[in-house]
């Protein structure tokens, strides 16, 4: 517990403190109207006063202006001295105050009204025959209208007014009335889009002929078909915040915005092995999903713009928030609020630790991990674990021009947490190292955007799990195909004219279902033996083409059906044989003809055994003219047919 004053006695289980007692030196005026009269108390040590009384009755309202002044409004009490309460003790002044009677608070039969935007409301007050005044504050202020009836200005927002009755000498306490503006809300036809985006329908409610609508977005890529209509279609190609401003009679109402996510389809390449069968066989179906690891891809580099609520940890080389450990060379800040729950390798975090050397670390604060560390390949148990690396190497935040800041932007469930580094390598204050690390709500994705990195030190960009056993490094986006795991202690630089950016996508426990030839509902699955939610190879004994795999992301709800063809060839039936017998010298000839309707494209293969054996004539032919001194019985056709009859070759 923090003592509210100087500690006078401190024991094992207690402490005592002292505080200066308040004094009342003057009260003005000394004659007040009950329930409304304003007066001022002057004195000393008035800070910390918790109550003001007249004749032992609490006043209606009071405000501590300074340690030497309190402004108050009289209640409905009796005459008496003014006193104040501080730390549970009551301190009296010397002057007595006289309270004159005031009319009671007026009665308003219908004190609440609900109207559309820009519409007025009318209230009527009754009392004891005095005059009525209407105010915008419960105490003090200047009357905005007089009379028993009051019509408000056009209502731009929910607003309260206050009416009091005066008997000519005193004005009594006030009665509150409230005019509520009907909220203007809007909905989207779908909560999010998948793949490359698409079109949604936005509809506002309620409607009124006086309303003018204006639809806008935080993304320039988002377009509205009819931006001034109550309902419009919007085309989105990326996650966007949607805003609606409605105007009427000089009033503007800003509706609560929404965020519409654009989430990518599960990126897989399913395979069937083998993809060509004769009649039937075993097909190994594989989704192509690698379980358990982040994937790293190159994306278009677009840096986030810092909002007004940006928090600076370092400004122009000076720490503006006290560090948890170290200095501006090898130090860090602990428990920085993310602003939402972020799932990293299966654990939700709402805070993160920020290091001067380009490392963000989750969980318990680790000064060593955020200080000086060894750069190596990812994953790596020697590097800071449970961490994100944004051009991590020995950096300096203490040079002039260095800035380190963070902010949370966007609308749930698609908010972003951004840490913005504008720093330098330890040994050179002329080489900028400018990059952002971005954490994305819902998807759990990490994005790193490098706008200019001129340091030639060994830099690592990537992610590392809590045990250092799973991780991924950023690829090289300057070559095609992108070179995987490139940014590991890499000395290459990134000029401002050629920025780079990466997205690290966490592993997802996808819903996986296979179907045959599109038969059945993809989400339900039709193949026996295929285990849902198991991204693995499955043996199937089907001879139907094609196979389809249905993949759904349980986080975003996005699903896609991928197809992998399996060609099934029907084997020809056994050919018809013409036997040949040759006595003495000569060349016997055995012939076969197709019974499978090969349409002139079939080929015949001759073997010296009914099963397996050796191919005895090439090229394939329907006539066999080679001399053998043995019997040749039943050549086997490669596709599964067997020659009937016999050819006696002598």
pLDDT by residue (tens digit) across 614-638?
Answer: 877 755 555 555 433 333 333 333 3
Please tell me the predicted confidence (pLDDT) of residue 132: 98
Q: Give the span between the Cα atoms of 40 and 556, in whole angstroms.
A: 61
Q: State whether CATH 1.10.540.10 applies to domain 7-100.
A: no
Q: Backbone dihedral region of 468: left (phi > 0), alpha (psi from -120 to 50 degrees) or beta? A: left
CA-nearest of 496, 500, 498 to 487 is 500
- Is the separation of the CB atoms in 420 and 491 below 8 Å? no
pLDDT at 210 over 70: yes
Find, among 141, 137, 132, the residue nearest to 172 by Cα: 132
pLDDT of residue 332: 97
Question: Which residue carries 């203490």 as its tokens?
Answer: 398
Q: What is the pLDDT of residue 638?
A: 35
What H or E segment, with its residue span, contains residue 432? none
What values do phi and psi take at 18, rounded to 5? -120, 150
In the numeric block, which tokens belong to residue 647?
A: 């050819």
Is there a contact between 560 and 551 (Cβ–Cβ < 8 Å)? yes
The Cα 98–Cα 173 span in angstroms is 17
**What's the Cα-to-Cα distance from 226 to each of 201, 218, 229, 233, 272, rounded to whole Å?**
11, 17, 6, 7, 47
CA angle 312, 313, 316 (to 5 degrees): 75
pLDDT number for residue 631: 33
Could you tell me the two tokens for 417? 């947490």
Q: What is the mean pLDDT of the chain?
A: 85
Alpha carbon distance 387, 410 (integer Å): 24
Delimit the domains of the chain by residue range.
7-100, 107-181, 185-263, 265-291+509-570, 295-505, 571-650
Share of the chain above pLDDT 90, in %: 64
- Within the chain, how many helices (H) and strands (E) appear? 1, 56
Name the pLDDT band for 549 (thresholds 50, 70, 90): confident
Write out the two tokens for 279: 């009649």
Residue-wise pLDDT tens digits, 438-474: 999 999 999 999 999 999 999 999 999 999 999 999 9
Please tell me the distance from the alpha carbon of residue 575 to that of residue 560, in angstroms, as a whole number. Answer: 46
Most confident of the ranges 8-17, 439-448, 508-517: 439-448
Identify the top-confidence range among 279-283, 353-357, 566-570.
353-357
* Three-state DSSP state, 367: helix
Q: 489 Cβ partners below 8 Å, 6+ apart?
A: 375, 376, 377, 458, 459, 460
Name the range with the highest mean pLDDT among 275-284, 440-449, 507-516, 601-610.
440-449
Q: What is the pLDDT of residue 230?
A: 97
The verdict on domain 107-181 having CATH code 3.40.50.720 is: no
3 state DSSP class of 368: helix
Lowest-confidence range among 109-118, 527-536, 616-625, 636-645?
A: 636-645
Residue 632's pLDDT is what? 32
Distance CA 556, CA 498 (A): 32
pLDDT band at 480 (very low <50, low <70, confident <90, very high): confident
What confidence category does residue 363 fall into, taking pLDDT thresholds of 50, 70 and 90? very high
597 φψ region: left (φ > 0), alpha (ψ -120 to 50), beta (else): left
The answer to whether 390 touches 437, Cβ cutoff 8 Å, is yes
pLDDT at residue 627, as a whole number: 37
Query: How does DSSP classify residue 266?
Result: P
Of 333 and 591, which is predicted with more confidence?
A: 333
Q: Identify the bridge partners of residue 212 per DSSP, sorted by sequence position.
A: 247
Q: What are phi and psi of 593, to 5 degrees?
A: -130, 150
Residue 535 has pLDDT above 60, yes or no: no
Between CA 113 and CA 122, with CA 119 as vertex, the angle to 5 degrees is: 45
| CB half-sphere exposure, 400, CA atoms < 13 A | 0
The H or E element spanning position 369 is helix 367-370
Q: What is the pLDDT of residues 213-265, one digit of tens each?
A: 999 999 999 999 999 999 999 999 999 999 999 999 999 999 999 999 999 88
CA distance 251 to 244: 14
Q: Residues 6 or more apart from 568 whose CB is under 8 A from it?
A: 276, 277, 278, 279, 280, 543, 544, 545
- Look at 83-97, 119-133, 285-299, 323-337 and tell me which has the smallest mean pLDDT: 285-299
Residues ≥6 apart with Cβ < 8 Å to 436: 303, 304, 390, 418, 419, 420, 421, 447, 448, 449, 451
Nearest to 234 by CA among 224, 245, 243: 224
Q: What is the mean pLDDT of residues 496-502?
A: 96
* Percentage of residues of the chain with pLDDT beyond 70: 81
pLDDT in the model for residue 509: 77
Task: Kindly indicate the confidence band of residue 290, based on its pLDDT and cuts at 50, 70 and 90.
Answer: low
Q: What is the CATH number of domain 185-263?
A: 2.60.40.10
User: Element (H or E) spanning 82, and its range?
Assistant: strand 80-86
Q: Are 495 and 502 in contact (CB under 8 A)?
A: no
Q: What's the pLDDT tens digit per position in 147-175?
A: 999 999 999 999 999 999 999 999 999 99
CATH number belonging to the domain at 265-291+509-570, selected among 2.40.110.10, 2.60.40.10, 3.20.20.70, 3.40.91.50: 2.60.40.10
Q: Is residue 254 a contact partner of residue 157, using CB atoms and an 8 Å limit? A: no
Phi, psi at 122, each rounded to 5°: -120, 135
Please, which pLDDT band fits residue 524 given cuts at 50, 70 and 90? low
Positive or negative: CA dihedral 465, 466, 468, 474 = positive
Q: Is the pLDDT at 537 greater than 50, yes or no?
A: no
Q: Give CA 429 to chain center in angstroms.
A: 35
The CA distance from 62 to 40, in Å, is: 9
Tell me the C-alpha to C-alpha distance, in Å, between residue 428 and each of 8, 394, 402.
54, 11, 12
Write out the two tokens for 194. 């998948």
- List of residues 6+ apart from 80 with CB closer than 8 A: 54, 55, 56, 57, 96, 97
Q: Which strands make up the sheet holding 223-224, listed edge to edge? A: 185-188, 198-205, 231-236, 223-224
Banded model confidence at residue 517, pLDDT cuts 50, 70, 90:
low
**pLDDT band at residue 267 using 50, 70 and 90 as cut-offs:** low
Q: Which two tokens stand for residue 517?
A: 């030839």
- Same fold yes or no, 7-100 and 107-181: yes
Instruction: Using the predicted structure, report yes or no on whether residue 91 has a pLDDT greater than 50.
Output: yes
């Amino acid at each position: 517990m923090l003592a509210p004053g100087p500690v006078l006695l401190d024991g094992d289980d207690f402490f005592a403190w002292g505080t200066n007692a308040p004094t009342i030196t003057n009260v003005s005026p000394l004659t007040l109207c009950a329930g409304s009269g304003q007066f001022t108390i002057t004195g000393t040590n008035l800070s910390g006063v918790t109550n003001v009384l007249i004749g032992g009755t609490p006043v209606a309202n009071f405000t501590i202006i300074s340690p030497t002044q309190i402004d108050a409004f009289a209640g409905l009490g009796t005459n008496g001295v003014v006193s104040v309460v501080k730390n549970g003790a009551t301190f009296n002044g010397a002057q007595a105050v006289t309270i004159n009677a005031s009319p009671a608070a007026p009665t308003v039969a219908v004190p609440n009204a609900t109207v559309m935007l820009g519409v007025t409301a009318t209230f009527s007050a009754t009392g004891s025959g005095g005059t009525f005044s209407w105010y915008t504050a419960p105490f003090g202020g200047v009357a905005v209208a007089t009379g028993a009836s009051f019509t408000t200005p056009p209502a731009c927002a929910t607003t309260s007014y206050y009416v009091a009755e005066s008997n000519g000498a005193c004005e009594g306490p006030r009665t509150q009335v409230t005019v509520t503006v009907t909220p203007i809300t809007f909905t989207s036809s779908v909560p999010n889009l998948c793949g490359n985006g698409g079109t949604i329908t936005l509809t506002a409610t309620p409607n009124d002929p006086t309303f003018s609508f204006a639809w806008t977005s935080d993304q320039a890529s988002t377009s509205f078909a009819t931006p001034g209509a109550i309902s419009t279609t919007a085309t989105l190609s990326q996650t966007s915040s949607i805003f609606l401003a409605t105007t009427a009679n000089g009033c503007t109402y800003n509706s609560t915005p929404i965020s519409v996510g654009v989430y990518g389809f599960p990126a897989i390449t399913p395979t069937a092995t083998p993809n060509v069968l004769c009649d039937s066989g075993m097909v190994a179906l594989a989704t192509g999903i690698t379980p358990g690891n982040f994937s790293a891809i190159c994306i278009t580099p677009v840096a986030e713009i810092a909002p007004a609520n940006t928090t600076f940890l370092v400004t122009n080389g000076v720490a503006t928030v006290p560090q948890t450990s170290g200095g501006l060379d090898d130090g860090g800040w602990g428990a920085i609020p993310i602003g939402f729950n972020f799932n990293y390798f299966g654990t939700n975090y709402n805070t993160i630790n920020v290091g001067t050397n380009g490392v963000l670390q989750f969980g318990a604060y680790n000064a060593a991990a955020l200080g000086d560390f060894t750069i190596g390949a990812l994953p790596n148990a020697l590097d800071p674990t449970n961490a994100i690396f944004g051009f991590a190497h020995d950096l300096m935040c203490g040079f002039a021009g260095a800035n380190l800041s963070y902010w949370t932007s966007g609308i749930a469930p698609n908010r972003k947490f951004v840490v913005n580094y504008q720093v330098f390598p330890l040994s050179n204050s002329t080489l900028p190292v400018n990059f952002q690390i971005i954490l994305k709500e819902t998807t759990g994705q990490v994005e790193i955007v490098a706008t200019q990195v001129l340091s030639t030190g060994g830099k690592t960009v990537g992610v590392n799990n809590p045990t250092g056993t799973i991780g991924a490094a950023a690829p090289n986006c300057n070559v095609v195909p992108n070179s995987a795991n490139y940014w590991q202690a890499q000395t290459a630089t990134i000029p401002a004219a050629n920025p780079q950016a990466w997205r690290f996508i966490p592993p997802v426990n996808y819903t996986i279902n296979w179907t045959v030839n599109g038969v059945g509902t993809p989400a339900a699955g039709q193949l026996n033996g295929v285990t849902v939610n198991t991204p693995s190879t499955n043996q199937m004994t089907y001879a139907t083409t094609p196979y389809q795999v249905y993949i759904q992301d349980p986080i975003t709800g996005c699903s896609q059906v991928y197809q992998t063809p399996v060609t099934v060839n029907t084997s020809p039936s056994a050919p018809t044989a013409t036997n040949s017998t040759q006595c003495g010298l000569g060349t016997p000839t055995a012939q076969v003809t197709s019974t499978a309707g090969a349409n002139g494209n079939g080929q015949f293969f001759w073997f010296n055994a009914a099963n397996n054996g050796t191919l005895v004539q090439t090229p394939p032919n329907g006539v066999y003219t080679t001399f053998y001194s043995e019997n040749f019985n039943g050549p086997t056709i490669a596709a599964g047919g067997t020659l009937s009859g016999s050819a006696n070759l002598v």
